Amino acid sequence: MANKWLIFTRGTVPLYRLDMFDQLLKFSKKFYGNDFSRLLYINEGNKLWWGLDENEVNILGKKLIKTLSDKNKSKKHISNYREYLKEAIKFSEKAIKADLTKLSKIRLIKLSKKLDEETAKAGTLANIDLDIFDIVFEDFFEDKIKELIGIKCNQNEPEKIIRKLSIPVVFSFIAKEQIELMNLSLNKKLSEKDIKEISEKYWWTNLGWENIKTRTLDDWKELIKEYQKDDKLQEKIKEFKKRNKRILLERKMIIKKYKIKKEINYWLKILDEYTLFHDWRKEYQIKWLSASREIMLETGRRLGLSADDLDWLRHKELCGLLEGKPFNEAEIKRRKEAVCLKISEGKISIWSGNNALLQHKKEIKEKEEILNEFKGKSANGGIVTARVKVCNGAAEALRKIEKGDILVTGMTVPDHVPAMKKATAIITNEGGITCHAAIVSRELGIPCIVGTKIATKVLKDGDLVEVDAERGIVKILERKNKK
């Protein structure tokens, strides 16, 4: 009997870039005992499927809420989380700076293994705990709001309260970068040193699992030129500086208006912490990915193999090549067509080519949804009517989205931001009130509905829809291609 998977989708991500499976297998036992034992990775064509076992998510979700409800346990959990992420970022930065050309094969292998070991704890928590928080917290928070208000609300009121209260009182790394760029842009005579300093600080922010191309100094100069064209730049900077005070004031006013008990402040602090963890996870993941990729590129340089081929190996297979094992060109060709990796019953299994296609069908039963209306969670309010573009990952979004389109996707990551800036609204399958789409939509001031589960299955390019992000409802007004 196939597991019931909770599926996350995005654009294609080669196996090497996501190969933290051995770490997950090892440390999930330490953190979660037997409650986490299954995970699925499938890449086929230009699409990735990432699966968590639905039953395990429910069990771990209840345990996470229980941990966070206990102030002492919560404090320890969050402190450990911070420490693991800091350690992972620090070691990844050290590995990035290493001169790999001077390392022997043995030392290069050791560095690859050490990198995965030093980041394993952060990787396990970041890839399980944070996703589970996004899945379970919003429903818990809504119930908690109802409980703490202590009066009957109308049907839509708790959702509106949650949307307003869940705006974080922290700056995302996107906002921090934007503030610094705006401040720099006020200076008409920028030096190369100024531009180099900001590029060294934020080189990683536009990267992701799909996009691995770092911005050049010329790219940064172009960004600054765009800001310099804005004649309201100083006003925007002032507004940014007032932002957190304004959000705190709005929170206090809502708590007072609805007579919400003071316990809510504890949960708002938890919400802010997990919003920060999203940023820290991003920083750790990109710096770990960049360090491991440099090791891959150096291996390719020494052995005369292309990055395009090595991207489909597992980390230990790459080390095997350095140890003298043969390169299996036929297997790489099969993996590029399709690859399926599954963690189950304490072991990792992998299929490629036709076998992966067959395993995909066994694991995931795809079906088209035919609906005229569906619901998700309102991440940022507003009502918009426009035509949709359904995008499988960031690369497709960057290619397809034009100004005024509604962006429909499985989930968003920082790679999506240029497309999000053009969109008039955002709809995602996945995510909760602390997810990337929620955070960025608030900063951009556009309507956003997350966690619909089915948006990419129901909607087609060109469909005319109404996004009612006040109530979290998507209504199809006209099908582009009527059957």
What percentage of the chain has pLDDT greater than the value 70? 98
Quick check: 83 and 46 in contact, CB under 8 A?
A: no
Residue burial 431-464, b: 16+ Cβ < 10 Å; e: rest: bbbbbbbbbbbbbeebbbbbbbbbbbbbbbeebe
- 454's tokens: 């089915």
Domain spans in the chain, listed from the N-terminal domain onward:
5-133+273-363, 173-258, 373-478
Q: What is the pLDDT of residue 153?
A: 58
Nearest to 97 by CA among 105, 89, 106: 89
What is the fold, at CATH topology level, of the domain defined by 373-478? Glucose Oxidase; domain 1 (3.50.30)
Q: Tens digits of per-residue pLDDT, 102-147?
A: 999 999 999 999 999 999 999 999 889 999 998 899 889 988 988 8
Query: CA 92 to CA 481: how far, in whole Å?
Result: 49
pLDDT at 151 over 80: no
The answer to whether the beta carbons of residues 115 and 93 sit under 8 Å apart is no
Question: Residue 1's pLDDT is what?
Answer: 43
pLDDT digits (tens, 9 = 90+) for 162-173: 888 888 898 888
Give the distance from CA 7 to its chain's centroid.
14
Residue 374 has phi, psi (to 5 degrees) of -150, 170
pLDDT tens sequence across 68-92? 999 999 999 999 999 999 999 999 9
Closest to 87 in 3D by CA, of 334, 284, 352: 284
User: Are residues 49 and 7 in contact, defined by beta-carbon separation less than 8 angstroms?
Assistant: yes
Instruction: Return the structure tokens found at 24.
Output: 């997950």
pLDDT > 90 in the chain, percent: 73
